[in-house]
Chains A and B, each alone.
Chain A
Amino acid sequence: MCLGIPARIVSIVDADAGLALAETAGVRRQINIALLAADGRAPSALVGKWVLLHVGFAMALIDQQEADRTLALLSQIEQREWDES
């Protein structure tokens, strides 16, 4: 129940109600984006973005730059292990 699912927002269904269409693993379903859009963001700006979906609500944007930063940090660890082995 508590699991979050990454999903990509495909289109806006009803901007006033905060409803959008999102795709995850090839499956499209209607989700609620009100809790992201309320943050001073135009709903249309969310189209194409990856979000973390929980109980039907987009609860956080997935930040690709932060993901890349984490992976870069990890590659330093990998390199160190390689150097030491």
Chain B
Amino acid sequence: MSLNTDFRDADRVRALLAAMTPVAGRVAARLGRPLQIMEVCGGHTHAIFRFGLHQLIPDTIEFIHGPGCPVCVLPVAAVDQAVALARQPNVILASFGDPLRVPGSRGSLLQAKAEGAGVRVLYSPYDALTLAKAHPRKQVVFFAIGFDTTMPGTAHSILAADRAGIGNLRFLCHHIRLIPTLTALLEADEVKLDGFVGPGHVSMVIGSRVYAPIARQYHKPLVIAGFEPVDFLQALYQLVLQLDQGRCDIENAYARVVADTGNPAALQAMEQAFESGVDGHWRGLGRVPGSGVRIRAPYRHLDATGLLAVAGPGKAADDPAWCHGVLTGRIKPDQCPLFRRRCTPEHPVGALMVSSEGACAAYYQYRPEQDHPEEARRD
């Protein structure tokens, strides 16, 4: 399969840019300002900078980097819970690599590991079952985070652990649902935007149909995009065409992976393991109604929140206020006074600098011109 090369082809990129530029120019002229497009997913933010698309896309299109990186919105209190559990004797705290670096009020999980806490990096939540079986005298806690893409993996692992009767495994779940998060942003009217580039991998789980209210109720067009340069530009072109034609539809430019109905088995596993509609408190976003989940009652014996009474409550959150500005598109990462000064990937102050998919980390890594602001002409 040559999908990667097909969707990275330079001629296709050039053709899409050539087609898009005059249309975007026409719409921007009509609006009297650049188009404001939010790419919801951190994977897209990363792709824009990694492939240098920010240098190719016309100035008439401006990106607002959305809240779709679960590591970036992971609240201090959640990190504190995980650190407190990791520091308990006889506990192995396992998680993906990225959450381990997120700063809490008493350091990150990596710092806890350096101080002797039992912390392990896993590639998949399903590997936590193997880890628990291999360490029968330890309590294994999987710190599960992520949007709807990651949730089915956690859900399946919870159901499988229940079936296998594994007694020394718990899940500390801080998952987020995408649609309530988007709806909250639109309800709060905090972001001024013309349309969305929809997240490809969340959409392969939830499907394209569920976005209908974004177009119908909030009158914003959304086009689902994959993560190769051609995928992203194709979606952006379709979005610009919609705006030019005054249309407002949900379109899918990643049909090779995303079906209208998503992945029914994944949705069913999520529904079985999790209760949705729980209010969430996220870093930089504050309270987002209905965006959180909790493990359903039949699986409560696998819920690590039961262990937290011993660990004690976390300290109040103290996120840098600037993170909120970046997440809602009010400022660009390099407009934050901490950017590159106090906040770097080596010593992140805010979580947007922790994950490689975070807007601040992407700016830091791929925009060296920002070292010389006098040379920066874009944005």
Residues on A with beta carbons closer than 8 Å to the beta carbon of B259: 60
B4 at the interface (CB under 8 A from A): yes
Checking A3, A34, A66, A71 against B156 with a beta-carbon cut-off of 8 angstroms, the contacting residue is A34
Asked if residues A66 and B255 are in contact (CB atoms below 8 Å), the reply is: yes
**Roughly how many angstroms separate A69 CA and B6 CA in the complex, as a whole number?**
12
Q: CB-nearest residue of chain A relative to B123? A: A56
Asked if residues A63 and B96 are in contact (CB atoms below 8 Å), the reply is: no
Of A8, A32, A38, A70, most buried by chain B (CB within 10 Å of CB) is A70
Checking A2, A50, A78, A81 against B149 with a beta-carbon cut-off of 8 angstroms, the contacting residue is A2
A1 at the interface (CB under 8 A from B): yes
Asked if residues A69 and B125 are in contact (CB atoms below 8 Å), the reply is: no
Q: CB-nearest residue of chain B relative to A71? A: B6
Residues on A with beta carbons closer than 8 Å to the beta carbon of B357: 1-3
Residues on A with beta carbons closer than 8 Å to the beta carbon of B12: 74, 78
**Roughly how many angstroms separate A36 CA and B204 CA in the complex, as a whole number?**
12
B242 at the interface (CB under 8 A from A): no
Residue-wise interface mask of B (60-71) relative to A, using a CB-CB cutoff of 8 A (1 in contact, 0 not): 000000000111
Q: A2-B41, A3-B43, A71-B6 are in contact. Are A57 and B152 (CB under 8 A)?
A: yes
A47 at the interface (CB under 8 A from B): no
B377 at the interface (CB under 8 A from A): no
Q: Is the interface of B mostly helix, strand, loop or mixed?
A: helix
Q: A1-B355, A57-B124, A57-B152 are in contact. Are A62 and B3 (CB under 8 A)?
A: yes
Residues on A with beta carbons closer than 8 Å to the beta carbon of B152: 35, 57, 59
Asked if residues A78 and B11 are in contact (CB atoms below 8 Å), the reply is: yes
Asked if residues B127 and A1 are in contact (CB atoms below 8 Å), the reply is: no
Checking A6, A77, A81 against B3 with a beta-carbon cut-off of 8 angstroms, the contacting residue is A6
B-facing residues in A46-60 (Cβ within 8 Å): 50, 52, 54-57, 59-60
Asked if residues B19 and A80 are in contact (CB atoms below 8 Å), the reply is: yes
Residues on B with beta carbons closer than 8 Å to the beta carbon of A55: 96, 123-125, 146, 150, 153
Asked if residues B256 and A70 are in contact (CB atoms below 8 Å), the reply is: yes
Asked if residues B263 and A60 are in contact (CB atoms below 8 Å), the reply is: yes
Residues on A with beta carbons closer than 8 Å to the beta carbon of B253: 70
Q: CB-nearest residue of chain B relative to A38? A: B265
**Roughly how many angstroms separate A9 CA and B284 CA in the complex, as a whole number?**
40
Q: A1-B146, A67-B256 are in contact. Are A32 and B124 (CB under 8 A)?
A: yes
Asked if residues A1 and B269 are in contact (CB atoms below 8 Å), the reply is: no
Asked if residues A60 and B204 are in contact (CB atoms below 8 Å), the reply is: yes
Asked if residues B269 and A70 are in contact (CB atoms below 8 Å), the reply is: no
Asked if residues B6 and A2 are in contact (CB atoms below 8 Å), the reply is: no
* A45 smallest CB distance to B (angstroms): 14
**Roughly how many angstroms separate A62 CA and B96 CA in the complex, as a whole number?**
25
Residues on A with beta carbons closer than 8 Å to the beta carbon of B15: 74, 77-78, 81-82
Asked if residues B96 and A66 are in contact (CB atoms below 8 Å), the reply is: no
Residues on A with beta carbons closer than 8 Å to the beta carbon of B200: 4
Q: CB-nearest residue of chain A relative to B199? A: A2
Residue-wise interface mask of B (124-135) relative to A, using a CB-CB cutoff of 8 A (1 in contact, 0 not): 111100000000
B76 at the interface (CB under 8 A from A): no
Q: CB-nearest residue of chain A relative to B254? A: A70
Asked if residues A2 and B70 are in contact (CB atoms below 8 Å), the reply is: yes
* A49 smallest CB distance to B (angstroms): 10
Measured CB to CB, the residues of B under 8 A from A are 1, 3-4, 6, 11-12, 14-16, 18-19, 41-43, 69-71, 96-99, 123-127, 146-147, 149-150, 152-153, 156, 160, 200-201, 204-205, 227, 230, 234, 237, 253, 255-259, 263-266, 268-269, 355, 357
Top 7 A-B residue pairs of the complex, sorted by shortest distance between their CB atoms: A56-B124, A38-B265, A78-B15, A66-B256, A67-B256, A60-B204, A66-B255
Question: With A3-B357, A70-B255, A80-B19 given, can you name 15 additional A-B contacts, CB distance below 8 Å?
Answer: A1-B355, A2-B69, A3-B227, A4-B201, A4-B257, A32-B153, A52-B204, A55-B150, A57-B156, A60-B257, A70-B234, A70-B256, A74-B12, A82-B15, A85-B18
Instruction: Give 27 A-B contacts (CB < 8 Å), ordered by A residue.
Output: A2-B42, A2-B69, A2-B150, A4-B201, A8-B1, A35-B152, A35-B263, A35-B266, A35-B269, A37-B265, A39-B265, A52-B204, A54-B150, A55-B146, A57-B124, A57-B152, A59-B152, A59-B205, A60-B259, A63-B255, A66-B255, A67-B6, A69-B255, A70-B255, A74-B230, A77-B237, A80-B19
